Amino acid sequence: MSYFHGETPDNYEQKCLCTLVLDTSGSMSGSAIRELNRGLLEFYAAIEEDLIAANRLEVSIITFGSSIKTIQDPALIDNFDMPTLNVSGTTRLVDAVQEAMRKTEQRKQWYKETGQPYYRPIIVLITDGEPDRDQDVNGLSAEIQESVNAKRFTFWGLGVKGFNQSILNTICPDSAPGIPLSGYKFAEFFKWLSNSIGIITKSKEGESIELPPVSDWAQMKF
């Protein structure tokens, strides 16, 4: 016999913004872009299966080659189809990450203005190359470090075969050094990312969040 029949109120879900900043420069052609596209689709599917994450996670996608393109403004995955990325051009990495930071701040302001509770946004950079010479890596590094310290967002950098570990480490905050991707295991990385988002979207603030262990998609543990 069932004793309790309390009904459920209508509440909107809080939001978690994840901005993917993806390298689509010429060097990503072939297996790299093919596997990245496959990984994005698997990421989409994993979020779609997780009812809570699907209602909370807003995905935004910015690509960079010779130009910076916002190919997806922040949206719940129900509201868009994952695009297929093409490659071309050089590596305006710094401009792209700065665009992601600017848009992240804008979205946060919008959450605040509209009274929507939100989790700390996440920016994920995926790159295989060195930024163009005119790109101010040290300036970006300082901006990211300062923002991460101020808890404006969480930043993860993923290096794809051929990337420059030293530059990626310069860009990434001390708390989360650049992660070298093993082969083209984007699918495994995105599975980890979706699991991590699942945990973040239910966590409470503290010193550090216990994320799932980085496994075979990374070349080394961190």
Partner 1 sequence: MEMAILDHKNNWVAAYASVIGNGHVAAGLPCQDSCVHQIINPTWGVAVVADGAGSAAHSDIGSDFVARNAAHCLQEVVNRRKWATKEQLPEQNDWRSEALKVTQIVRQRLETFVQSKAYKSNDLACTLLFALYSPFGILYAHIGDGRAAFSTAEGHWDALIAPFRGDEANETVFITSNIWTEAGVDMYIKTGRVVADIRAFALLSDGCEKGSFEVNVWDEENQKYHDPNRPYIKFFEPNIQGMQQLAKEQKTQEQINEIWAGFLRSGSAQFKQETDDKTMIFVYNLTF
With binding defined as CB under 8 A, does residue 114 bind partner 1? yes
DSSP β-bridge partners for residue 131: none
With binding defined as CB under 8 A, does residue 198 bind partner 1? yes
Q: Using the rule CB under 8 A, which residue among 81, 150, 204, 221 binds partner 1?
A: 204
**Judged by CB under 8 A, which stretch of 64-72, 91-99, 113-121, 171-179 contacts partner 1?**
113-121
User: In the structure encoding, which two tokens stand for residue 150, read together?
Assistant: 């101020």
For residue 58, give the H/E element and its range. strand 57-64
Shortest reach from residue 112's CB to partner 1, in Å:
8
Q: Using the rule CB under 8 A, which residue among 69, 80, 118, 183 binds partner 1?
A: 118
Q: What is the rounded CA–CA span in Å between residue 164 and residue 142?
A: 18
Shortest reach from residue 183's CB to partner 1, in Å:
26
CA distances (Å), origin 103, targets 18, 72, 203, 205: 11, 11, 24, 23
Indicate the residue among 30 and 212 with the shorter CB distance to partner 1. 212
Q: Which residues contact 216 (CB under 8 A, 6 or more apart)?
A: 182, 185, 188
- Residues lying near partner 1 in the complex (CB under 8 A) are found at 2-15, 51-52, 112-120, 151, 195, 198-210, 212
